[in-house]
Amino acid sequence: MRLDQIFKMEFLSDDLQSDTKEGVLAELINLLIGSGLKMDRAKALDVLQQREKLGSTGIGDGVAIPHGKVSELQDMVIAFGRSRRGVSFDAIDGKPVRLFFLLLAPEHSTGQHLKALARISKMLKTPNFRKTLIDAKTRADLYKAIVEQDASSPL
């Protein structure tokens, strides 16, 4: 599965304003809902916050991949947000997070959810890709970089 099947430009913010973990999660959920995705905001936030209590999804190198399963969803969805200042997100390396990939999946999806998480994680291990995302000037540049990186990665 290619990410462009579940990731749309409307689900992208190039300038997150929140400076807290909870604020970023809310901002990304609001982005999805504001783009027409139908789901209960409070339930989705609760799912993400419960997942964060198990351990931070801040994987280091300025990256976090918050994720969870939401019963109302029919299909997986990805949102992306970039913080220009960085957010304290309890990342494993203790550094602020600037790049956020939010993955939400239907409650009963397992395999596809894990494959998408692995795909995103693998893409973000490339230092040049992270730098491209940090330096991108526009939302269109960010979207293009993500889709092209995904397309160049083997399935």
Q: Which of 28, 64, 66, 67 is catalytic?
A: 67
Helix spans in 35-138 (H): 41-54, 111-124, 127-135
Q: 108: which residues sit within 8 A by CB, 6+ positions away?
A: 69
Task: Determine the Cα–Cα distance for residues 148 and 97; give it in Å rounded to an integer.
Answer: 23
The answer to whether the CB of 84 falls within 8 A of the CB of 98 is yes
Task: Determine the Cα–Cα distance for residues 69 and 73; give it in Å rounded to an integer.
Answer: 8
- Whether 67 is a known active-site residue: answer yes
Q: State the burial class of residue 106 (Cβ atoms within 10 Å of its Cβ: 0-12, 13-18, 19+).
A: middle
Task: Determine the Cα–Cα distance for residues 95 and 22; give it in Å rounded to an integer.
Answer: 17
C-alpha 20 chain-centroid distance = 15
Question: Which residues participate in catalysis according to the annotation?
Answer: 67
